[in-house]
Amino acid sequence: MNMVTRTLISVLLAAAAAVTAHGDHDEQHVIAGPHQGLWYNTLPGDGGTQADSVFSGISTFGRLPYAPCLAHKDINYDIAFIGAPFDTGTSYRPGARFGPSGIRQGSRRLNLYGGYNVPLETNPFDSWAKVLDCGDIPVTSYDNTFALHQIEEGHYSILSRAPKTDAHKKGPSLAGKTLPRVITLGGDHTITLPLLRSINRAYGPVTVIHFDSHLDTWRPKVFGGSPSDVASINHGTYFYHASQEGLLRNDTNIHAGIRTTLSGPSDYENDGYCGFEIVEAREIDIIGTEGIIKKIRDRVGEKNPVYLSLDIDTLDPAFAPATGTPETGGWSTRELRTILRGLEGINLVAADIVEVAPAYDTNAEHTTMAAADALYEIMSIMVKKGPLSVLDIEPAKETSDL
Ligand SMILES: [Mn+2]
């Protein structure tokens, strides 16, 4: 073994040891060293930067341990947060490339008191699951085609490795393996197309729950005018492409929170062809959060693998002003969080949050805080469900490259 190899191995071992120590709940409260008297914030939920107070230190989602997962294939986890800072598919206000860093800033206080979720009776920061923040996928802002390729490959690298828990048990992927869950921080909504392409490689077609004020199934000639193939893939058309590419399970998908204007009633018709049912935001006045939850659960069923995509513009701009295409008449943060918690028990395999553009936020960080809290509910239902090995799903037929 030469010097370079030895040095490389010792660096990798040190990195692996650091990750293990942070992920291990028994060890993380043991602080040793000459300055241990300075450290005080060691609550159970505090995921790894425990030497810092919540308002200091380097930001990760919920102060989870950071690990360079894209650079090191041997780092494992059960849930990974990964950023996709892409915003060159927007039709109106750009700025969602700062979404990942903004959401992390907004999430700093999530586990100040330990992170226990009272209504769900679980602590996603202190459970069976090893949860990491894997940083961001490198994304070019100069070439959309290349950027979408980067996002698909980056996501697939995070998705397609063995999880920390139940790695050797059978799971619901096409290859019969158990995989980790991935939560992606966008980015404008275009990113959901490469994310679903990655998901499709692992699971085949999936069922999508799409929270948004907009349909995003528009045909390119209706949305954006489609002057080129590159322009035809944008944050209003990606679900049209996903449907055309066979990434969605037929007639199991649902939008929730819709209140956009249309080019005409044919947009709803086209949406149906793409495999979606629609829950409009205003339905909450009649059927309440319970009725909305029931509609979603009835549509997605018990046996489908589910992907959840959350556009922050689902929320009313009073609660989340910092987004590319805000629409008034949306749900409150309380209503959205109740609806998300109502999805407990579904076969959630992965999720994203998109369209957070922090430059338009209030000084009080309304939007990034709302985004972080919504993700906290999503993370909680993932943890409460258990590892993906426990999922009872109807598999797709295709073969896998896993
Ligand atoms: Mn939207």
For residue 238, the surrounding DSSP H or E stretch is helix 238-244
- DSSP assignment string, 76-139: --SEEEEEE---TT-SS---GGGHHHHHHHHTTTTTTT---BTTTTB-TTSSS--EEEEEE---
* CA–CA separation, 340 and 209 (whole Å): 11
Give residue 392's pLDDT: 87
Determine the pLDDT at residue 225: 81
Query: Can you read off the two tokens belonging to residue 262?
Result: 């249309």
> In the numeric block, which tokens belong to residue 146?
């290349």
Say what the pTM is: 0.90
216 labeled part of a ligand binding site: yes
Say whether 74 counts as a known binding-site residue.
Answer: no
CA distance 305 to 391: 8
Is 285 annotated as ligand-binding?
no
pLDDT, residue 43, reads 62
Half-sphere exposure of 184 (CA within 13 A, CB side): 38
Give domain status of residue 10, yes or no: yes
So what's the pLDDT on residue 19?
43
Is 158 part of any domain? yes
Q: How far is the CA of 293 from the centre of ligand 1 (A)?
A: 20
Q: Cα(341) to centroid of ligand 1, in Å?
A: 21
Is residue 29 included in any domain, yes or no?
yes
CA of 214 to the centre of ligand 1 (A): 5
Count CB-CB contacts under 10 A for residue 289: 17
214 is in an annotated binding site: yes
pLDDT in tens, the chain (402 residues): 555 555 545 544 444 444 443 444 444 455 566 666 666 656 655 655 555 677 877 899 999 999 999 999 999 999 999 999 999 999 999 999 999 999 999 999 998 888 999 999 999 999 999 999 999 999 999 999 999 999 999 999 999 999 999 999 999 999 999 999 999 999 999 999 999 999 999 999 999 999 999 999 999 999 988 799 999 999 999 999 999 999 999 999 999 999 999 999 999 999 999 999 999 999 999 999 999 999 999 999 999 999 999 999 999 999 999 999 999 999 999 999 999 999 999 999 999 999 999 999 999 999 999 999 999 999 999 999 999 999 888 877 655 566
CA 259 to ligand 1 centroid distance, Å: 10
In a domain, 374, yes or no: yes
Give the per-residue pLDDT at 17: 43
Q: How far is the CA of 364 from the centre of ligand 1 (A)?
A: 22
pLDDT, residue 111, reads 85
Residue 180: inside a domain, yes or no? Answer: yes
Residues 6+ apart with CB under 8 A from 35: none
Instruction: Give distance in angstroms: CA of 213 to centre of ligand 1.
Output: 5
Question: What's the 208 CA to ligand 1 centre distance in angstroms?
Answer: 15
Task: Tell me, in angstroms, the distance from the centre of ligand 1 to residue 89's CA.
Answer: 12
Residue 50, pLDDT score: 53
Inside any domain, residue 302: yes
Q: Examine residue 174 and state whether it is found in any structural domain, yes or no.
A: yes
> Using an 8 Å Cβ cutoff, are 340 and 377 in contact?
yes
Per the structure, how many domains does the chain have?
1
Q: What is the distance in A from the centroid of ligand 1 to the CA of 78?
A: 29
Looking at the DSSP bridge assignments, the partners of residue 183 are 81, 351
Provide the pLDDT for residue 331.
98
In which domain, by residue range, is 103 found? 3-390
CATH of the domain at 358: 3.40.800.10
How many A from CA of 313 to the centre of ligand 1? 5
Residue 327 CA to ligand 1 centre (angstroms): 8
Cα 86 to averaged position of ligand 1 atoms, centre (Å): 15
Residues whose beta carbons lie less than 5 angstroms from ion ligand 1: 212, 214, 311, 313
Q: Is residue 93 part of a domain?
A: yes
